[in-house]
Structure formats: C-alpha cells, structure tokens
Homo-oligomer: A and B are copies of this chain.
C-alpha cells in the first residue's frame, strides 16, 4: 500500500545530511549527494523536487523526534514538581539532554544533523523558516517554565538568557576540531558527557543571576 520501496529516499537523505554538515547547503551539489548515495542524479528531483526541498527533508526527519522527546522531558519534570515550579536545573537539563545525548551516542547521522543545525542557527536566510517553525514554539514553552521558577526576572532578561543558552549549545555541536586544538589535549574531543556536566550548571547559574532584578 504505502511505498514499500523507501530505500532510495533515505539513501539520498543520509548522503545529503552528511555532506551538508561538512560543506553547507551551497557547498554541496546534487551530483555529489547522489554519487555518495550511489544513485542516479535525477532521482533527487524525482523524490524531493528542488535542492532546497532535499535540505528541508533532511531537517524535518529528525526534528520531530527531537522535539517530542524534549517536550516530554519538560512536561515530566513539571508534573513531578507540582504544585511547585520545576527546579531550574531540571528544566535546563530537559532542554539540553535529548540534544547532547543523541549528539554523543546517536551515531554519525545525528552528529551530522546537529552540525547542520549549528550552521542554520547562524545563517538566517536558510534556517529562518525551519528553525522558527520547529524550534521556536519549544523555546517559548521553556522560557515560560523558567519564568515560573524565577518569577522576579524580567521577560526580556530571560529571553536573552535563553539566547545565550542556544548559542552555547549550538557551538558545542558544530564540530570538535577547533575545540580540541584549543584545549591542547585537555579534553577528549568526543567527550560530550563532559559538556553536559558543565553546561547545565553554567547555564543555570547564568539564569539565576537575574533572580532579583
């Protein structure tokens, strides 16, 4: 009934994902993608349409999985804490856990995906639509949860703090080459657990700085 032959579409998406992660949207040609996927170039147009549609398909494939997980974690920790507001560090963790966990243990596909997210996040023209559509609603939910925990903070402050969190997360995903170079062997480049351990308290403390404003 449905397409039993879904192999090709995913081959293309996998190849595209990996290449986009390294060289960006404009740095990858359809022929490079289909060549890596070992598939005829015309199949890209046949299955997806324009090049930009391939890019968006790559994004959407994992965005839904991710957002479901993150909302679930947020709702869980809110429910656990009721009737009190959820602890700040748990909220931050709910926001970051699914991302860092998959980036760490999700395999190459997820690594590539996050590298693309990092590019998009810093590239308004391409990422604007998708990011707004899929991540901004989530962001508002999280900011609201945090606001219940730090009621005295001004909404504008929290918005900017969220922004800093987003940037810190993003850069973490974007590749480890520079990082490990700078660290001079101080940390293993693939050790994203180390990030998680430090990001949550760092960000939590940053938010709390606006507790009494």
Contact = CB atoms under 8 A, between A and B. Distances in A.
Interface string A83-110: 0000000000000000000000000000
B182 A139 contact: yes
Copies of this chain, whole number: 2
A182 B161 contact: no
A174 interface: yes
A210 B197 CA distance: 11
A169 B167 contact: yes
Interface size class of A (residues with CB under 8 A): 35 or more
A49 to B, nearest CB: 20
A163 B167 contact: no
Nearest to A165: B168
A42 interface: no
Contact of A204 (B121, B178, B209): B209
Interface in A122-176: 122-125, 127-128, 131-132, 136, 139-140, 155-157, 159-161, 163-172, 174-175
A27 B178 CA distance: 23
A204 B131 CA distance: 29
B199 A132 contact: no
A118 B160 CA distance: 18
A51 interface: no
Of A128, A167, A179, A204, chain B has the most CB atoms within 10 Å of the CB of: A167
Contacts of A2: none
27 contacts: A23-B26, A119-B123, A121-B174, A121-B178, A122-B175, A128-B177, A128-B181, A132-B181, A155-B186, A156-B186, A156-B194, A159-B187, A160-B198, A160-B202, A164-B164, A164-B168, A164-B171, A164-B203, A167-B168, A167-B169, A167-B172, A168-B168, A171-B171, A198-B210, A201-B209, A201-B210, A205-B209
